[in-house]
């Protein structure tokens, strides 16, 4: 859990952010104050290195603009005018308003709204218990990686232990700027290069940091990823490199898929993707002849009108190439440890079938006069929807409704918090206990509390317990401690006390194999109309910031300065200004 070195306590913890690396760190505490946070050297994935975003995470905890006390709105919604109130006053107001909404409109008029500001079982899921017991509307869908989620629901494999990528002979980094978004994954890719000369090819419209570090960069037109994948499959088929019979073990519609592939010869693909025809042919041959090969995909290509076609086409390509049969080969988009986040959220607390509302349509839902019952009460945590959800203008119009009672739990006064009726101060990762899963590797990570909460900040578990008590909700699950909530997500074989001491535990799952009882579909990569005029070809690309995590850290001085400096630097190879 912690070790004393002279007058310094070393406390094992973990980064909470929505990142595939989920790094383990060590907080150095002197006189009850965290003086620095460093990567855990012994962790096989973190290996002692933190990213440019969180390498001084303690500055976030001690930031002068931290929210440290409950606030109540005194100005117009969006004005940011608040007054300080007590926690007792805050939870009393929340209990009164939420209780009144349930009485007048029914429980489904309440809705929690959250995303991945923290991957922790407590910070992400404790408050969900409250809304499960109440019978509130449930958020559904996603604003990130939903195309991959849809394919996974069909049974498509989309990941394995990323440490096995060291065995790959060819790595296609497709639509991922790993050196900015998941740089620890890059270690295993470069290890493959060092061990047996693996080739690294980046497919991305932008010349990113990762493209600069690769052996080759193929700059396709934005949104044409599925076309290229179908073209590569065409090369595999026509040159006898396709594993057709192997594909039949996975899929029920291989002949239909092959007919679809036949419509995408390299000449047509090259014209649409904006790359030379010989590059399509060469890349297809290399992918078919090199074994094992892996497609290491990012989330970016999914965020387009052809996102689902892209995911289906690269999944089919990996299967057609036969690469799942070999260690280090196949498709890698995501990977998870054995960790049940919904158990921490108390899935057993849901009774009946409360309605589900798509968070990607939050703006239209908030202003929909036909929605019955309307959303009258909202609690937001781990999310800044006023700037991160689709159609932000409509989202803000919804938040500005005078009849909408909104509670926001936050570290800082965000764009969303400005629309709140009540703002509650949340603890940062250094001030609470939590356990985290991951979506980029197979380690469960513990976050031991390093210091007492500053001001009146509270964990989301404590906020849940206070609000539940104020609403006279007496279910035992609403009284559990943060450790009990977090432990609910762990496999029964895991010893919590040992995990707290060790800091992390790998809970590997086997690599996906064909399921003869549940064969998937490869065909169906329907691709929308292609641009016909220069105006149609304009695409707004919004690459991830190297020093920001979505909107997180955008208020921190070091990260803001570094981001501004980086924007003005020319790319080493092209000479053009680079956002990466």
Q: Does 194 lie in the same domain as 326? A: yes
Domain residues for the domain of 194 are 159-333+514-544
The answer to whether residue 496 sits within a structural domain is yes
Q: Are both 374 and 491 inside the same structural domain?
A: yes
What's the CA gap between 264 and 326, in Å, rounded? Answer: 27
Helix (H, G, I), strand (E, B) or coil at 492: coil
170 and 284 together in one domain? yes
171 and 105: one domain? no
pLDDT above 80 (res 563): no
The verdict on residue 137 lying in a domain is: yes
Domain shared by 282 and 198, yes or no? yes
Q: Which residues, listed in sequence order, are joined to residue 199 by a DSSP beta bridge?
A: 170
Pick the closest to residue 301 from 423, 174, 179 (CA basis).
Answer: 174
Provide the CATH number for the domain around residue 213: 3.40.228.10
pLDDT tens digits, 34-71? 999 999 999 999 999 998 888 899 999 999 999 999 99
* Residue 566, in any domain of the structure: no
Tell me if 292 sits within 8 A of 168, measured CB to CB: yes
With beta carbons less than 8 A apart as the criterion, state whether 519 and 316 touch.
no
Higher pLDDT, 71 or 528: 71
Q: Report the pLDDT value the prediction gives residue 577, as an integer from 0 to 100.
A: 34
Distance of CA 82 to the CA centre of its chain: 32
Contacts of 329 (CB under 8 A, 6+ apart): 167, 168, 291, 292, 293, 294, 318, 323
On the question of pLDDT at 572 being above 50, the answer is: no
531 pLDDT tier (thresholds 50, 70, 90) = low
pLDDT(21) > 90: yes
Decide which of 506, 536, 555 is a domain's last residue. 506
Q: Please tell me the predicted confidence (pLDDT) of residue 522.
A: 96
Q: What is the pLDDT of residues 426-470, one digit of tens each?
A: 999 999 999 999 999 999 999 999 999 999 999 999 999 999 999
372 shares its domain with 498:
yes
Does a structural domain hold residue 254?
Answer: yes
The CATH number linked to 347 is 3.40.50.740
SS3 state of residue 577: strand
Residue 451 near residue 430 (C-beta atoms within 8 A): yes
Type and span of the H or E element at 58: helix 58-61
pLDDT category at 524 given cuts 50, 70, 90 is confident
Asked if 379 and 454 sit in the same domain, the reply is yes
| 166 lies in some domain | yes
State percent of the chain over pLDDT 70.
Answer: 94
Q: Give the model's confidence band at 143: pLDDT under 50 very low, under 70 low, under 90 confident, else very high.
A: confident
pLDDT band at 569 (very low <50, low <70, confident <90, very high): very low
Q: In whole numbers, what is the pLDDT of the chain averaged over residues?
A: 92
Is the pLDDT assigned to residue 28 strictly greater than 80?
Answer: yes
Contact 72, 93 (CB under 8 A): yes
Same domain, 360 and 495: yes
**Mean pLDDT across the stretch 295-302?**
92
- Whether the per-residue pLDDT at 262 is higher than 80: the answer is yes
Confidence of residue 576 (pLDDT cuts 50, 70, 90): very low
What tens digit of pLDDT does each residue of 81-91 get? 999 999 999 99
* Residue 292 structure tokens: 């094992």
Same domain (yes/no): 271, 402: no
Is 265 a member of any domain? yes
Give the pLDDT score at 1. Answer: 62
Tokens linked to 490: 């762990």
Report strand pairing: 8-14 vs 2-5. antiparallel
**pLDDT band per the 50, 70, 90 thresholds, residue 566:** low
Is the pLDDT at 565 greater than 80? The verdict is no
* Rounded-to-10 torsion of CA 509, 510, 514, 518: -30
173 and 101 within one domain = no
Q: How many domains does the chain have?
A: 2
Measure the CA–CA gap between 485 and 35, rounded to whole angstroms. 29
Q: Would you say residue 562 has pLDDT above 90?
A: no
Buried b (16+ CB within 10 A) or exposed e, 86-96: ebeebbbbbbe
User: Residues 328-349: pLDDT tens digits?
Assistant: 999 999 999 999 999 999 999 9
Is residue 431 in a domain? yes
pLDDT for position 571: 41
pLDDT tens string 225-235: 999 999 999 99
Q: What is the pLDDT of residue 5?
A: 58
Q: Which two tokens stand for residue 260?
A: 């679809």
pLDDT band at 559 (very low <50, low <70, confident <90, very high): confident
Q: How far apart are CA 45 and CA 68, in angstroms?
A: 34
Grade residue 570 by pLDDT with cuts at 50, 70 and 90: very low
In a domain, 322, yes or no: yes
Q: Is the pLDDT of residue 7 over 90?
A: no
Give the model's confidence band at 421: pLDDT under 50 very low, under 70 low, under 90 confident, else very high: very high
563: Cα separation from own chain's centroid: 21
């Amino acid at each position: 859990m912690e070790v004393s070195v002279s007058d310094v306590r070393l406390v094992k913890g973990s980064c909470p952010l929505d990142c595939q690396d989920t790094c383990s760190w060590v907080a150095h505490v002197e006189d009850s104050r965290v003086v620095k946070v460093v990567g855990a050297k012994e962790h096989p994935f973190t290996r002692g290195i933190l990213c440019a975003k969180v390498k001084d995470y303690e500055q976030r905890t001690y930031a002068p603009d931290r929210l440290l006390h409950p606030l109540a709105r005194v100005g117009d919604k969006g004005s940011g005018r608040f007054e300080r109130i007590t926690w007792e006053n805050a939870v009393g107001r929340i209990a009164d308003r939420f209780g009144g909404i349930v009485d007048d409109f029914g429980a489904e008029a309440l809705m929690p709204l959250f995303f991945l500001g923290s991957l922790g079982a407590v910070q992400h899921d404790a408050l969900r218990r409250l809304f499960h017991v109440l019978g509130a509307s449930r958020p559904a869908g996603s604003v990130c990686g939903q195309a991959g989620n849809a394919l996974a629901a069909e049974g498509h494999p989309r990941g394995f232990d990323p440490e096995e990528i060291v065995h790959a002979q060819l790595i296609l980094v497709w639509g991922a700027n790993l050196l900015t978004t998941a740089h620890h994954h890059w270690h295993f890719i470069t290890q493959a290069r060092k061990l047996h000369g693996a080739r690294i090819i980046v497919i991305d419209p932008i010349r990113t940091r990762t493209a600069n570090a690769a052996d080759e960069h193929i700059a396709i037109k934005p949104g044409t990823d599925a076309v290229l994948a179908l073209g590569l499959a065409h090369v595999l088929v026509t040159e006898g490199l396709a594993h057709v019979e192997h594909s039949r073990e996975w899929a029920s519609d291989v002949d239909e898929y092959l007919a679809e592939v036949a419509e995408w010869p390299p000449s047509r693909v090259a014209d649409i993707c904006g790359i030379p025809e010989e590059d399509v042919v060469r890349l297809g041959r290399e992918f078919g002849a090199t074994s094992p090969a892996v497609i290491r995909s990012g989330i970016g290509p999914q965020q387009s009108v052809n996102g689902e076609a892209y995911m289906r086409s690269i999944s089919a390509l990996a299967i057609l190439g036969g690469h799942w049969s070999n260690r280090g080969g196949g498709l890698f988009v995501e990977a998870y440890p054995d960790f049940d986040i919904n158990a921490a959220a108390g899935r057993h607390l849901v009774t009946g079938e409360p309605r589900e509302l798509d968070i990607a349509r939050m703006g239209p839902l908030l202003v929909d006069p036909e929605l019955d019952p309307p959303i009258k009460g909202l609690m937001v945590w781990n999310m800044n929807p006023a700037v991160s959800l689709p159609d932000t203008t409509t989202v803000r119009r919804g938040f500005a409704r005078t009849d909408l009672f909104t509670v926001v739990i936050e570290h800082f006064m965000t764009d969303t918090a400005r629309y709140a009726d009540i703002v509650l101060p949340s603890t940062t990762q250094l001030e609470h206990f939590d356990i985290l899963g991951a979506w980029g590797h197979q380690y469960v990570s513990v976050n031991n509390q390093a210091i007492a909460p500053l001001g009146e900040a509270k964990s989301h578990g404590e906020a849940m317990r206070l609000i539940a008590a104020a609403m006279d909700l007496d279910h035992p699950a609403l009284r559990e401690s943060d450790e009990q909530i977090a432990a609910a997500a762990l496999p029964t074989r895991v010893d919590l006390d040992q995990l707290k001491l060790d800091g992390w535990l790998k809970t590997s799952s086997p690599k996906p194999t064909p399921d003869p009882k549940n064969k998937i579909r490869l065909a169906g990569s329907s691709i929308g109309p292609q641009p016909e005029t220069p105006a149609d070809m304009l695409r707004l690309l919004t690459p991830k910031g190297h020093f920001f995590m979505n909107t997180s850290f955008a208020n921190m001085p070091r990260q803001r300065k570094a981001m501004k400096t980086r924007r003005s630097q020319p790319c080493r190879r092209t000479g053009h200004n680079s956002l990466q």
